[in-house]
Amino acid sequence: MESSVDHELQLETNQKVEKLIEFTNNGIDLIKNGDYEKAIRYFENESFAESVGLQLGDSKTIFLHNDLSNPQQIDDVLNFISLHSHFNHKYSEIKIAGLINSKLHPEKTKYFVPQDVWKDVALVNLEEWLHAVQFISKQPIAGEDDDEIDVALYMRAKGIPLTEHFLSMHGRNKFINGQKMNDNLKKH
């Protein structure tokens, strides 16, 4: 039989998960509206994190020194952001690498960053928050055991068009394409 202490803990967990889903849903809406930079700022919510027993840790930051338009540099920036962003289970800590495009001596105040790059950064933000949901609820959010595939399936189910970079990480491409192939096979 379930003890009342277990029961209370479960209720507390359910409440946290509910709050987190609501929080991430708002971020998902911003991303779907194309408000990527707004979404990134939205996810930097330390007091909300604390209210569900999480913390936002420091991570590395890239400071641009030129307009970001070279495809190789874009790849490097996105890989850096992905590699230095993670959810740390041990400390219930979300760490997200930053991208800063402010100029030191401005005529224009900022270097150019393509919207697609901000979208990828926003997806990484959402990804780490979704890992927190997986961690707190102790179960997948889209029914897939692999955490990285699970977040991709969840985002897709929420109607977010996933990017090439996002799908290139953690073997998601192979899985998602494989699944599409299965879907196509079922149609015939």
Distance CA 81, CA 95 (A): 10
**What is the closest distance, in whole angstroms, from the C-beta atom of residue 127 to Zn ion in the complex?**
5
* CB nearer Zn ion, residue 93 or residue 127: 127
**Cβ neighbour number for residue 85 with a 10 Å cutoff:** 20
21, 29 Cβ separation under 8 angstroms: no
Distance CA 96, CA 98 (A): 6
| Three-state DSSP class for residue 115 | helix
Give the nearer residue to Zn ion in terms of CB position, either 24 or 101. 24
Closer residue to Zn ion, CB minimum distance, 67 or 148: 148
Q: In the complex, what is the shortest distance from the CB of residue 95 to Zn ion, in angstroms, rounded to a whole number?
A: 11
User: Residue 116 CB, nearest distance to Zn ion (Å)?
Assistant: 20
CB nearer Zn ion, residue 101 or residue 119:
119
Q: How far is the CB of 8 from Zn ion (least distance, A)?
A: 31
Q: How many residues bind Zn ion (CB under 5 A)?
A: 2
Length of the chain: 188
C-alpha span between 102 and 109 (Å, rounded): 6
- Cβ atoms of residues 39 and 125 within 8 Å: yes
* Residues 143-162 interacting with Zn ion (rule: CB under 5 A): 148
Q: Which is nearer to Zn ion, 117 or 151 (CB)?
A: 151
Looking only at the bridges linking them, the beta strands covering 55-57 and 61-63 are unpaired
Subset of residues 116 to 135 that bind Zn ion, contact rule: CB under 5 A: 127
Q: How far is the CB of 160 from Zn ion (least distance, A)?
A: 15
Residues at the contact surface with Zn ion, assessed by CB under 5 A? 127, 148
